[in-house]
Structures are given as C-alpha cells and as structure tokens.
Structure 1
Amino acid sequence: MDWPEGKDFRRLLLEEATCAEEALPYNRLPENEEPYALFTDGSCRIVGKHWRWKAAVWSPTRRVAETAAGESESRQFAEVKAIQLALDIAEQGKWPMLHLSADSWMVANALWGWLQQRKQSNWQHRGKPTWAAPVWQDIAARLEKLAVKVRHVDAHVPKSWATEEHQNNHWVDQAAKIEVAQADLDWQHKGELFMAWWAHDTSGHQGTDATYRWAHDRGVDLTMDTIAQVIR
C-alpha cells in the first residue's frame, strides 16, 4: 500500500503544484488568520467486538471540538475523515482560507503532494485503486476551491518545550479519544494482546520497537507495553 507518511513531500512545493502549502506554526500566524486555524486528529480502538474510529477537529480560537465516529476502519481512516470534517467547518463558515495542523505525517504528506500524485495517476498505484480513493477524491476536489496550508506538529516534545501549538494538539488528541466501559476495556485488552501477537508474528518476529513501528505504519494502535507482553 502506498502510504503517504513514508515519504517527505515538502520538497515538491518548489517542483510542482500541490494541493496545500506548508503552514506556519499556530503561534506565529498573523492575528487575523488565527480564526481560520484548526487542529485535527483521529483514533481507533477495539470496543466490545468491533474496531471503532473517531475523528476530531479542535478550534483554538473558539475553544470547541467537533467529532465524527464510525466502525470497522483504521486510525489512518479516522485521520482522513478529520480532514473532511475540517473542510466541512471551513465551507460552512465560508472561510477564505484554512490552516490545518496535525501530528500525522500521513495527513501532512498527503496534502503537501501525495494527493496530487494520486490524482495525476487517476487514483491508481501499481495497477490497484488508491486506498480510500472516494474519500481522497472528495478532499482533492474541495481543496481546489479553498486556500489550505498544512502544518505537521511534533507530538513528542518535552513539556518544558511545549508551545501553544503543542497545547492545542493535546486538546484535539483528547477530543479524539474513544471512551469505553470497563467490560469493554477487559475485552479490548485481550484483543490488543492478540493484535500484538499478530503484529509480532507477521512482521517477522522483530523486537519491541520494530514491531511497534511496523504496526503503527499500518494503522494498528498498539502500545509498547502490550507488545512487550507478547514478546517476553
């Protein structure tokens, strides 16, 4: 699968027309552009016997979050749906621009250039349809009508280094979390152990760090602790 987070598309900004430009950090935006800034995130986890996803958008100036949710899709799908949700907000408000911030390299790279490449290849990759093509096609069409800039936020910084940008990224991360009952948590833990075993086995019995990266690249949310339990 041609995952956009596996590449860095920022260099394409000077080489070809892309769907979105690279944005400034939120704390460096002109004051008159701050109302048009949104932070996005997505999550996925097992609830009961089903995978559930949740997409979230956070407005720093309005201090409110909007969410969408569903079943049977991955975390990466949730992150893409969060883009759609942000575009919905901008379109409904008739915004002249949109500044998107996300801690997902998939989101950033997709909007910086991967999306443009997939469109030029007629939404095909090596003879196969692009993953989630209908959703990407909708996003691409809407980006042609709105000036969008995208910022990748580093979510893994020490608290002493955290800026207003990181604080807002934290709020959208909280909004994207999926709440579950204790009974579901027990079931979920068993499911996570199985998924950790599957990831460890399918990735070639690699170590904890390598198994974590392998699972993360494929949209499977596993913690290092869970993986360590099945590798011991």
Structure 2
Amino acid sequence: MMDVLELGGRSPLNEWLEAIGAAGPTPAGGSAAAVAAALSAALVKMVAGMTAQREKYAAVHAEAGEARARAERLERSLVALAVRDVAVFAGFSRALELPRGAPEERDERERAKRAALLEGAEVQLELLGSLAEVAELAGTMTDRGLASAAGDAASASFLAAGAARSAYWAVRSNLEGREGEPEIDARLERALGLLERVEAAERRTVEILKERLLLSP
C-alpha cells in the first residue's frame, strides 16, 4: 500500500497534474475526465473493500467483493483511456499539419481531421459507458456499504457525474457539424443516454445519502 504521507507530496498522480497543467494542448479535458473517473472508481473500490472486511456487513460481503473487483477493473481501464485520449489528440495534431495547398490535399486533410475527431468521440463514449457503471456501483455502496463511508461512496458518484458531463460535451464537440449522419446521430443518442444514466444514479445517491445521514431535504 502506498503511504502518501511518506511521498512528501509526490505521487504518480502528480505526473498527471503536471502534464495536464503544462502550457500545451494535451493532455487536456478528455484525459482529465478519465483521471477523475479513475479516482471515482478507486473510491468505490475503497468503500467496497472496507465493507467486505466488517463482520457487521457479512450479509453484503459477496456483493461488496464483486463491487470491488468491478471497480478495480474499471479503474485500470479508465487510466488507460486517459492515455489513449492523449494519443488520439496527437493524431488530430498530425492531421492539422498535413499540406493543404491543392484541392486533393485539402480533402485528405479534412478526412484525417474527421477520422481523428471521430476516434476522440469514441474514446469519450467509452469513458461514458464506464462512468455509468462506476456511478451505479457508487450508489450501491452508498446504500449498502459501510455506513461511516457512505459519504466517500457518494463522492465517487459526484466525481463520476462531473466526468460524465465533460465526456458528453466532448462527444458533442468532436461530432459538431455532422448531425444528420445516421452513424453520428446514433453516437450522439448513445452519449446522451449514458449521461442521463449517470445523472440518474447521482440523484438516487443523493437521496440515499440523505437517508443514511438522516438529513432533511
């Protein structure tokens, strides 16, 4: 287990923060959303693991164990998506550098740009799909997990919702101007459906958290 205090403020996360905060075009919003999503999955994993260790929660040990395993898989895939988003942007940058003097060169450059933007949208769609899973797992752990960690599980839901909104608008941005193409419209519809799924999970989590903390509306 990493002892964060012994790192003196340095951790692998710092590398991402420095890269994102650098005065360059990438990594940017897409990678930042994926990193936030990975943190959300890590919180779910933490709460599920703590729940599985407590005898008082024996009735949900199997459920917590499954949630932890799923969250761990999601965490790994989300970090990979953060890296993949950087690679996709590099492809878009290469497309921008293509010559555009002759008409055929301009056509080729435009095709390369559209292909890179579509690939970027696919990455963010995959991110949205993973976030829907994370948000629902977070809701389950807020409801059935360790009571003293309900706020942590809810935090996972809130992080997931923020990352999902970022991913949704990234899809919209990447596919702008291509509405009306059947395959594009299908992707936009899927993106909206996944965002709505995440936000519905977040709303349920808020209500569960209020009940567990005995808060008034």
TM-score when scaled to structure 2? 0.28
Q: Which has the larger radius of gyration?
A: 2
TM-score when scaled to structure 1? 0.27
Q: Which has the higher helix share?
A: 2
